[in-house]
A and B are shown apart, each in its own frame.
Chain A
């Protein structure tokens, strides 16, 4: 189900011996990564493991303390930033929505890396914007102020902005957190569509392990600033991995819908946790 793609061995975006962090403390302790082209990769791991840090360093938002990130063979941190922006699109976690900004204006700003400071709007710009709005189904919202939209609509609009950048690689930092179930599925469906129809390489940090397992072609599991395992979810998601990465005992079964491993956390005594409660209520009612 996740393997529709023809072969895509290549890897345009790579990290080598990467160390990075904030204010002197390293969060990443030596990461080597080759992002598979044309696939959807998901980075998972517990809080503080360095998922966002890795993504930000890959997107050159953060500068590494050691090691490098390479895009098409050249170091991402030394290339002109506008050049990099034509190939990597980033949807970060922290965005600011100014007052009175309309959807059309926001999406249009995604065209920045393709326009000089005095350039007029080209046909390609218009096409990209229109396309982004269509794909995210936000055409009807184009004149509305962004800050009046609902959470789900807003996320779609921000996605449209990044899509308008028309980059072969798309990096997203927790694109589904704070969205409800329907909207999460919608966002992931969108990303899959982009990936399948336009061969966009997607790398996203996801909080929900099952979401990642189900929607990603390539899973990257991190813990403590290192990559613990990576590969197709069906292969690498095992109770051993979950214990190593999340410190949680679990059992896995095959998901009845998608066939990928479904993780079921266990209590310390190996039970599912419900029984002690049932037993106690039985005890109470028998008094």
Chain B
């Protein structure tokens, strides 16, 4: 066999991240703090860039510093961390389900969290326990999903359907609970259900950041196995992937990420679905790079949603969850259309 085409060098460069993709990822990494900084200037009263920067650094007026550090910075940091978590979660889930329409929103994770949160509101638990309840709800939903499908040769389709079933049950139970809440608690429930970045505290920031920091390395380690799982069960087994264990691990990590995000922001839809898609368009289907990009894109999407929410009906803010729902929808439909087209 004569070696007329290809040389080690050519193969090498096509494996390592292409230059164009690297530039885009770098651009994203820079964009996140820039957009974040801009978002920091927005709020019930607009600040200039200089004032905002001063507030972040702690120099300048104490009033401004308080607003920037105490009120807005947590909001922005939550947006970044929760957005990244959602993007990563969606990426992992879509690979696990072998279906680009998978996301924690449709698989019952978010619905479970909402149910638990609404129950907690009804039980008049202290507000700081809400995120814990929501996270627990997400975990229980996923555990149920796993228990139900672990015996059957759960291909992606079965998991998806079972997830949709859990989503439906949890949503129905949520509606029931909301309908029976005492009048005084209704507002709190409905606000939570709309998904918002309003009034986030540093505690929220810490919670979601810790969750992300702990799970992302594990996710990174799992990405390679995910790459083989995507090719089919038998292919993955043949390549030496411990399939059962990997599936469970992926499900757990995806749930922790999505659960952490929902716990601190309430249900914000479409970020987990759309961010991986955008990431794939940018850097292709290449494992760790796509995971990182999905996280970055998710962070930016949520930041942008926050910015839009602040600007559109200024000075009344609109919840980020509403913005993503309104904007996410047309994107989603276009996406389904494109996916169908191929």
Contact = CB atoms under 8 A, between A and B. Distances in A.
B6 A102 contact: no
A134 B5 CA distance: 8
B39 to A, nearest CB: 31
Interface stretch (A43-51, A114-122, A248-256): A114-122
Interface stretch (B114-122, B164-172, B278-286, B305-313): B278-286
Contacts of A121: 12, 15-16
Interface in A82-124: 82-86, 88-102, 104-106, 108-110, 112-113, 115, 117-118, 121, 123
Nearest to B290: A100
A107 to B, nearest CB: 9
Nearest to B14: A104
A143 B11 CA distance: 10
Given A112-B224, A127-B8, A100 B238 contact: no
Contact of B5 (A102, A129, A140): A140
A129 B239 contact: no
Given A109-B228, A130-B11, A92 B240 contact: no
A105 B237 contact: no
A129 B11 contact: yes
B20 to A, nearest CB: 13
Contact of A100 (B5, B242, B284): B284
Contacts of B10: 142
Residue among B235, B241, B286, B339 facing the most chain A CB atoms (10 A cut-off): B235
Contact of A89 (B6, B238, B339): B238
A133 interface: yes
B236 to A, nearest CB: 9
A116 B303 CA distance: 36
A66 interface: no
Given A85-B239, A96-B230, A96-B231, A115 B224 contact: yes
A133 B8 CA distance: 11
A133 B231 contact: no
Interface in B260-318: 280-281, 284-286
B70 interface: no
B142 to A, nearest CB: 23
B232 interface: yes
Nearest to B221: A117
B113 to A, nearest CB: 29
Contact of A83 (B8, B235, B240): B240
B1 interface: yes
B239 A133 contact: no
A81 interface: yes
Given A92-B232, A99-B285, A109-B228, A81 B12 contact: no
A88 B237 CA distance: 11
For the complex of A and B, 9 pairs with smallest distance between CB atoms: A85-B240, A90-B238, A92-B234, A82-B240, A113-B240, A139-B6, A117-B221, A139-B5, A96-B232
7 contacts: A90-B237, A90-B238, A98-B231, A99-B342, A100-B284, A134-B5, A142-B10
Given A59-B238, A95-B234, A147-B342, 4 more contacts: A96-B98, A117-B224, A118-B221, A171-B238
